């Protein structure tokens, strides 16, 4: 993760700072965020992600940002009460998912387990891989092409 200051506005004795944040993941995914830090809180002003974030990923975004962002811009700085700001513990990131044959085999296992349990198999793959619906559907199709899942048109 990279954090660098964008700009700062000072008013009286307080300051509001904007930071550019870039998160890179092992699978090549990238998230760019414009975060606003003031005396009271951290806010997200803009998010851009490639591939697009799933709703589950979007809910995890604050956890991914909190610790490193506080460390980069606020570690040791005094908060409004004069006490040192807390630094958040490190949080989990998107799970690493193997590429190629091993990844397709794992996708097929998740897919079949969800079917067996009466759950939505696409949502199960999304949850396991941390990818968007579109990317998960692509992984499922690749697992089918590799022979790990039967064709969608096969008779049951």
How much is the mean pLDDT over the chain? 77
- CB burial readout 91-124, b (16+ within 10 A) else e: eebbeebeeeeebbebbbbbbbebeeeeeebbeb
Q: What pLDDT score does 85 carry?
A: 39
Residue 84, pLDDT > 70, answer: no
Lookup: tokens for 65: 């940002």
Q: What number is the average pLDDT over the span 86-96?
A: 45
Polymer length of the chain: 156
pLDDT digits (tens, 9 = 90+) for 97-145: 788 899 999 999 999 999 998 988 998 888 888 777 888 899 999 999 9
Confidence of residue 78 (pLDDT cuts 50, 70, 90): very low
Return the percentage of the chain with pLDDT > 70, whole number.
79
Confidence of residue 154 (pLDDT cuts 50, 70, 90): low
Q: What number is the average pLDDT over the span 21-37?
A: 84
Instruction: Report how far residue 42's alpha carbon sits from residue 16's, in angstroms, rounded to the nearest whole number.
Output: 10
Confidence of residue 86 (pLDDT cuts 50, 70, 90): very low
pLDDT digits (tens, 9 = 90+) for 45-64: 889 988 888 888 788 887 77
Residue 89, pLDDT > 50, answer: no
Quote the strand ranges of 51-152, DSSP E.
Answer: none
- CB burial readout 17-48, b (16+ within 10 A) else e: bbbebebeeebebebebebbbeeeebeeeebe
């Amino acid at each position: 993760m990279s954090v660098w200051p964008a700009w700062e506005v000072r008013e009286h004795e307080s300051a509001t700072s904007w930071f550019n944040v870039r998160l890179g993941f092992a699978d090549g995914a990238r998230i760019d965020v414009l975060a606003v830090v003031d005396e009271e809180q951290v806010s997200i002003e803009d998010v851009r992600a490639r591939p697009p974030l799933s709703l589950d990923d979007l809910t995890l975004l604050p956890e991914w940002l909190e610790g490193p962002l506080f460390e980069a811009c606020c570690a040791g700085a005094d908060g409004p009460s004069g006490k040192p700001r807390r630094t958040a513990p490190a949080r989990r990131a998107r799970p690493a998912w193997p590429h190629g044959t091993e990844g397709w085999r794992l996708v097929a296992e998740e897919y079949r387990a969800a079917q067996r349990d009466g759950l939505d198999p696409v949502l199960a793959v999304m949850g396991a891989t941390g990818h968007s619906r579109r990317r998960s559907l692509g992984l499922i199709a690749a697992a089918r092409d590799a022979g790990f899942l039967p064709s969608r048109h096969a008779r049951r």
